[in-house]
Amino acid sequence: MDWSTHARISFAGRPWLLTPTGDGAGPALEKLTAFVEALGATPRIVGVDAHDRLMAYLSHLPQLTASALMHVVGEAVGDQGLALSGRGLADTTRLATSPADIWKDIAATNADEIGPALDTLIAVLQDLRRDLATGDRLTEIFSAAKQWRESLAKT
């Protein structure tokens, strides 16, 4: 399979966020839009601030969460415990294999948006922690999560 075929398969129907600034609506944006479409992706134009907020939640938070989860689990159970794990842990922590040096730069560049995203996740985890005995909040969160996951699966 050649590169262009692989790219069209990889990006088929996926959104590609473009963040033009200044006179960004000119010929350069038209060329970039055509390139994105040739890859099979769908160009979406968003402002820089909206892009950074979206990426904090859609990309950076999942990356940090998967890495932190894998760190906590690995430290707690070690290699022998990991050998007993089911596929759920592997599926959930797939992102934990990403190179730290790239993510260190991304985190520093988008810290203003990643910080609040982490705060929101931490608050939900604290809610779950406080609710372990009754499960009321757990039921709410699981129900909402299931609906959001079904929505994600449609994309």
Average pLDDT on 47-65 reads 97
Say yes or no to pLDDT of 60 above 70.
yes
Across 65-71, average pLDDT: 98
The model carries a pTM of: 0.88
pLDDT tens digits along 84-113: 999 999 999 999 999 999 999 999 999 999
| Residue among 120, 103, 81, 124 at smallest CA distance from 89 | 81
pLDDT one-digit tens code per residue, 127-147: 999 999 999 999 999 999 999
C-alpha closest to that of 41 among 11, 61, 66, 68: 11
CA dist., res. 49 & res. 55, Å (int): 10
Q: Residue 25: pLDDT band by 50, 70, 90 thresholds?
A: confident
Residue 63 above 80 pLDDT?
Answer: yes
**Interacting residues of 29 by C-beta distance below 8 A, sequence separation 6+:** 18, 20, 45
Tell me the C-alpha distance between 31 and 29, whole Å: 5
Pairwise CA distance, residues 151 & 155, whole Å: 7
* Among 56, 47, 64, CA closest to 112: 56
Q: For 111, left (φ over 0), alpha (ψ -120 to 50), or beta?
A: alpha
Helix-then-strand count for the chain, H and E: 8, 2
User: Does 32 have pLDDT greater than 80?
Assistant: yes
